[in-house]
Amino acid sequence: MTNTLFDALFAPLAGRDRPLMILPDGQEISGDRFLRQVARLAHALSAAGVQPGDRVAVQVAKSPAALAAYGATVALGAVFLPLNTAYTADEVDYFLGNATPRVFLCDPVKRAALLPVAQRHGVRVLTMGATGGGELTDLAKTQPETFDAVPRGPGDLAAILYTSGTTGRSKGAMLSHGNLLSNAQVLADLWRFTAEDVLLHALPIFHTHGLFVASNISLLTGGSMIFLPGFDADQVVSLLPRATAMMGVPTFYTRLLDDPRFTRDLAGHMRLFISGSAPLLAETHRAFEDRTGHRILERYGMTETNMNTSNPYEGDRRAGTVGLPLPGVELRIMGEAGPLPPGEVGVIEVRGPNVFQGYWQMPEKTAEELRADGWFITGDLGTQDADGYVTIVGRAKDLIITGGYNVYPKEVELLLDEQPGVLESAVIGLPHPDFGEAVFAVLTAQKGVQLDAEAVLAGIRDRLARFKQPKAAVVVDSLPRNTMGKVQKNLLRATHAERFRLS
């Protein structure tokens, strides 16, 4: 028996002298060198007690070693659990308690703060630094450079990614080897990736976009990656001439458009620009084409499904839409009585080999959102036109997607409501030219209190990851409600819609 994901993504690197990664300092890491690092880390994790099926939680800076830890976990037949590097110790506490990983990899500088959290849940802590140093990498140095991957089939779990739920509790989406490989294969074919491609990779690798789309496609097709720790305009402008393709969130493209060095000549040799994780404003799409001659290819995915739709490689890339369902993926727009005709707004549901296995330790939530016949209820509201193009118009769950990261308003509201002088809060997402959406708070004050919105935001700053923090807040006399007493967030969004348009 083979290891489905390892055999497709990592095993073919054996003996490859061509670079898999090109780093900002010009260093190149060959495929064979990277595979040897994967093997050493797999042995090290095994020595640390990781067995097939165990979870390996990872909250470390993006680096070649961090990506190798993903490969090592896959090789071991374990389950990779990447965590946003912005999460605080309080937030990490929930994930470790829910997923019960065998090992937790963290940054050496955060070890002291995270060790008590891990110990509370009986999780072993090992460190891995941004430059490759740390306890795990030290342990790996003396390990063998080959590793016999543990057999794993398409239905076995490969990863758990946490997403926000309707109650505000994060849910662990269980993704199998088959889920991840099938999606990478479809996208690589649809987007025409080959071994000749060099992907400019500035995305984080704790997220579906950077890990399971960008990295998996490059590994699968034998291409190279310009592997940047994050988006830096100077680095991107400098290294873009070496690339053939780029994947990014809308923020990347708005920042490039703000840079006079980003010209038609600089981008002229590029084959493809892809955008996702957050809505791309139509004006950004048009401005990018005017500047470069390239039409950004926008697509639509979720933590639970990886990618579902894409605008075509050849054909009409329609601004404001997320394109057509991927080959092998079924999509329907559902109303209360069943599927809706073209043009009508309803809840998007998808079915296919990309759809996850369910939520970790949450069978009730799984039953609510994943139908017995395989259809996943995304919670996104959208339309599909007569040509099959899908447009996202909103979300049934009030989920905010800012810069590609999910923020559930209730989590933020609970902290705001605890602040001195706050009677009640409502957190909404507003259109933002860089982030797709920005988190915005509407506050009401307790009787007799003169509320300072900035002071309230300062009061929660150390308790939430930065991307979850409201970018601004306003104090109002009361919140709009319907006859049942429910806050009408649609009215709040309409009232404050222009807040970040010129940011």
Domain CATH number, residue 430:
3.30.300.30
- pTM for this predicted structure: 0.84
What would the DSSP string read from start to end of 328-383? T-EEEEEETTEEPPTT--EEEEEESTTS---BTT-HHHHHHHB-TTS-EEEEEEEE
Q: Report pLDDT for 47.
A: 97
Residue 22's CATH number: 3.40.50.12780
**Residue 143 DSSP one-character state:** S
Domain presence at residue 136: yes
Give the integer Cα–Cα distance in Å for 346 and 116: 46
Which of 171, 204, 228 marks a domain boundary?
Answer: 228
Domain presence at residue 32: yes
**3-state DSSP assignment of residue 58:** strand
Q: Report pLDDT for 409.
A: 81
Domain presence at residue 291: no
330-335 and 346-351 strand pairing: antiparallel
CA dist 419 → 17, 211, 413, 455, 475 (Å): 57, 37, 10, 9, 13
Domain presence at residue 50: yes
Which of 207, 228, 249 marks a domain boundary?
Answer: 228
Domain presence at residue 283: no
For residue 313, give both structure tokens: 């490689």
Domain presence at residue 37: yes
Give the integer Cα–Cα distance in Å for 160 and 115: 22
In contact, 75 and 3? CB cutoff 8 Å: yes
Q: Report pLDDT for 408.
A: 75
Q: Report pLDDT for 388.
A: 96
In contact, 23 and 127? CB cutoff 8 Å: no
Which of 170, 198, 228 marks a domain boundary?
Answer: 228
Domain presence at residue 405: yes
- Contacts of 103 by beta carbon, 8 Å cutoff, 6+ apart: 45, 48, 49, 50, 54, 56, 57, 123, 124, 125, 126
What is the identity of the amino acid at 81? Answer: L
In contact, 272 and 297? CB cutoff 8 Å: yes
Q: 123, exposed or middle or buried, with CB in 10 Å at 0-12, 13-18, 19+?
A: buried
Instruction: Please count the structural domains in the chain.
Output: 2
Domain presence at residue 487: yes
Could you read off the pLDDT tens digit of each residue along the chain, which spans 503 residues?
799 999 999 999 999 999 999 999 999 999 999 999 999 999 999 999 999 999 999 999 999 999 999 999 999 999 999 999 989 898 899 999 999 999 999 999 999 999 999 999 999 999 999 887 899 999 999 999 999 999 999 999 999 999 854 345 789 999 999 999 999 999 999 999 999 999 999 999 999 999 999 999 999 999 999 999 999 999 999 999 999 999 998 889 989 999 999 999 999 999 999 998 877 877 788 899 999 999 999 999 999 999 999 999 999 999 889 999 999 999 999 998 999 999 998 899 999 999 999 999 999 999 999 999 999 999 988 899 999 999 987 667 677 889 988 787 878 888 998 999 998 899 999 999 888 899 999 999 988 999 999 999 999 999 999 999 999 999 999 988 764 456 888 889 989 988 876 44
Could you list the residue range(s) of the whole structural domain that residue 413 is in? 400-495
Give the integer Cα–Cα distance in Å for 232 and 12: 31
Can you state the percent helix, strand and coil of the chain, rounding each to 5?
35, 25, 40
